[in-house]
Chains A and B, each alone.
Chain A
Amino acid sequence: MEKTVNQKAWFLVLPVLLLVAFSAVIPLMTVVNYSVQDTFGNNQFFWAGLEWFKEMLESERMWDALGRQLMFSGIILAIEIPLGIFVALNMPKGGFWASLCLVLMSLPLLIPWNVVGTIWQIFGRVDIGLLGYTLDALGVNYNYTQDTVAAWITIVVMDVWHWTSLVALLAYAGLKSIPDAYYQAAKIDQASRWKVFRFIELPKMMGVLMIAILLRFMDSFMIYTEPFVVTGGGPGNATTLLSIDLVKMALGQFDLGPAAAFSLMYFLVILLISWVFYTVMVNLDKREG
């Protein structure tokens, strides 16, 4: 759509600007403030310059948390994206069954995050959970509060359970936008199922898939509640992801300076990914328009 230049449109945006400035810019400035100061209590602050940033960049704690975070995001993307596409390809084409599948698949997406954690915390327990009990009965040594591997498997499976439907729904939306003529042409050319997927469905889905990948990366990168409820970051620090570590530092130990420096660096990474996301979105809009 052709847009006209109109500077008065600023007045329409002003309420949003003020509100988001209040709820985002002021708090962020507080963080910036803390990140360059030190305190000995009593609300007395001293200029610390970039000391906290240096300390955080040199601290193993942050790098470890970042490593675990990247591993987590990598694993869940590697599972959720292919699985989501696979599920989308197997969705009913329309009618009652498609609606039923859509409704049932959306259920996990709408459950409060701590309840997702609670569900899996219970589900995995050896004494009262279906999963834990079954595994135990089969002779598998599974205990997510003691064993690092079991804890990781639990939070990964939980995330797959929670969010694969989102990837599937997005991929399904992409698939539905492919005109029938494409499939008919493929049929005339006697293209195999794989070729149809590779040369028709996948390219047509690419836009929505990029959104799905970025959304999942982003949201998994700041995941907090679900793993916190299930493992509390343990055993040890084995499942302490970035957000969990940050909250521990800021609200648990009240280490304001380091936590603020940590926050800002965390935020910069997010900013970078947001920019990629934005570029993808804009390109997608252009292609449609």
Chain B
Amino acid sequence: MADLSANQSTSRGLSLPRINSRAVVMTLYLLFLLLPIYWLLNMSLKTNTEILNEFTLWPRNLTFANYATILTDPAWYMGYVNSLIYVVMNTVISLAVALPAAYAFSRYHFMGDKHLFFWLLTNRMAPPAVFALPFFQLYSSVGLFDTHIAVALAHCLFNVPLAVWILEGFMRGVPKEIDETAYIDGYSFGSFFVKIFTPLIASGIGVAAFFCFMFSWVELLLSRTLTTVDAKPIAAIMTRTQGASGIDWGVLAAAGILTIVPGALVIYFVRNYIAKGFALGRV
């Protein structure tokens, strides 16, 4: 009996501030997520002397010198430009080929459709490590090594399947009657697709574009393997902050923070689609 009443009292004790327990869990979790990012931001605003000699929870001598270094030195900022170029190329290519294919998968049965759909999935799941060496040789032999288009094409390996799956997920939500009505009204396939269908799945295209952009932006292994100088992405340049006087921590941190910016800028608009995008248009 004593045990039972003790149990009851503790459970009442726990349930009393019930509204807050959710908030506590979420706060702790978000704290866990944000602390490492905060630490990087903190470091990026310090001088190297402060980073190495004092342990401070926030910058005592606030400095933007690290960011200035990156934004004024072509060796640094060209990394961002290179990354942006191949990422945008990849997004455009992926969407251009994925749109008609996703439409076909969402509307029609054709010979081998299921096998093809599955085969696309296996490419999304393929480990980049398996493809690093063959890509290196393939693009070297056709003279595309160290160009933006090489990285853009290599990233199509996982982004085209991703775009097809995501777009198919959105397209299946559009009733087929709309297509049929349009055809009866005399629209050709092309004009129907551009004028009627594309606006209907605009949000799906946005989500697919965002995920192509993101996955191309975060990938390092292939982009690093396929480039040396002219198309070197920022992620690969970052690993070379080691100078004669040791690692330049402040600049490294600032470079890291700057790579988070593109994602952070658009995150609000895609917040409700993050799960859907990662789950390949399902959910």
User: Which residue of B32, B39, B104, B126 contacts A9 across the interface (Cβ within 8 Å)?
Assistant: B104
Q: How far is the CB of A4 from chain B (nearest CB, A)?
A: 6
Contact status A109-B274, CB under 8 Å: yes
Contact status B129-A247, CB under 8 Å: yes
Contact status B127-A270, CB under 8 Å: yes
Closest to A267 in B: B130
User: Which residue of B93, B101, B132, B176 contacts A251 across the interface (Cβ within 8 Å)?
Assistant: B132
| Contact flags B204-220 to A (C-beta < 8 A → 1, else 0) | 00000000001001111
Q: A90-B26, A103-B271 are in contact. Are A19 and B127 (CB under 8 A)?
A: no
Q: A109-B278, A120-B36 are in contact. Are A274 and B260 (CB under 8 A)?
A: no
The total of interchain contacts (Cβ-Cβ below 8 angstroms) comes to 288
9-residue interface stretch from A44-52, A72-80, A169-177, A181-189: A169-177
Interface check A138, CB cutoff 8 A:
no
Q: How far is the CB of A137 from chain B (nearest CB, A)?
A: 9
Interface check B33, CB cutoff 8 A:
yes
- Taking CB atoms and an 8 Å cut-off, the chain B residues in 70-109 that contact chain A are 93, 96-98, 100-101, 103-109
Contact status B30-A101, CB under 8 Å: yes
A22 to B144, CA, bound (A): 14
Residues of A within 8 A of B120 (CB): 16, 20
Interface check A30, CB cutoff 8 A:
yes
9-residue interface stretch from B1-9, B61-69, B154-162, B195-203: B154-162
Contact status A113-B214, CB under 8 Å: no
Contact status A20-B260, CB under 8 Å: no
Closest to B172 in A: A1
| Contact flags A126-141 to B (C-beta < 8 A → 1, else 0) | 0111110100000000
| Contact flags B99-123 to A (C-beta < 8 A → 1, else 0) | 0110111111111010011111111
Q: A2-B176, A13-B105 are in contact. Are A115 and B256 (CB under 8 A)?
A: yes
A271 to B172, CA, bound (A): 26
Please tell me the size bucket of the interface on B: 35 or more
Interface of chain A, helix or strand or loop or mixed?
A: helix
Closest to B96 in A: A15
9-residue interface stretch from A54-62, A143-151, A194-202, A276-284: A276-284
Closest to B161 in A: A20
A3 to B109, CA, bound (A): 6
Q: How far is the CB of A2 from chain B (nearest CB, A)?
A: 7
Q: How far is the CB of A119 from chain B (nearest CB, A)?
A: 5
Interface check A67, CB cutoff 8 A:
no
Given A91-B22, A111-B218, 12 more A-B residue pairs with CB atoms under 8 Å apart are A4-B108, A10-B111, A19-B160, A23-B156, A31-B130, A112-B260, A114-B239, A224-B128, A246-B129, A267-B127, A270-B127, A281-B282
- Offer 9 A-B interface pairs, CB within 8 angstroms, sorted by A: A5-B109, A31-B134, A104-B33, A114-B238, A122-B249, A170-B283, A222-B126, A243-B127, A247-B129
The 8 lowest CB-CB distance pairs between A and B, nearest first, are A110-B263, A27-B134, A222-B127, A12-B104, A243-B129, A9-B104, A9-B108, A12-B100
User: A residues bordering B, Cβ < 8 Å?
Assistant: 1-10, 12-13, 15-17, 19-20, 22-24, 26-28, 30-31, 86-87, 90-92, 99, 101-115, 118-120, 122-123, 127-131, 133, 161, 165-166, 169-170, 172-174, 208, 211-212, 215, 218, 221-222, 224-225, 229, 242-244, 246-247, 250-251, 256, 259, 263, 266-267, 270-271, 273-275, 277-278, 281, 284-285
User: B residues bordering A, Cβ < 8 Å?
Assistant: 21-22, 25-26, 29-30, 32-37, 39-40, 43, 51-52, 55, 57, 93, 96-98, 100-101, 103-111, 113, 116-123, 125-138, 153-154, 156-157, 160-161, 164, 172, 175-176, 214, 217-221, 225, 235, 238-239, 249, 252-253, 256, 259-260, 263-264, 267-268, 270-272, 274-276, 278-280, 282-283
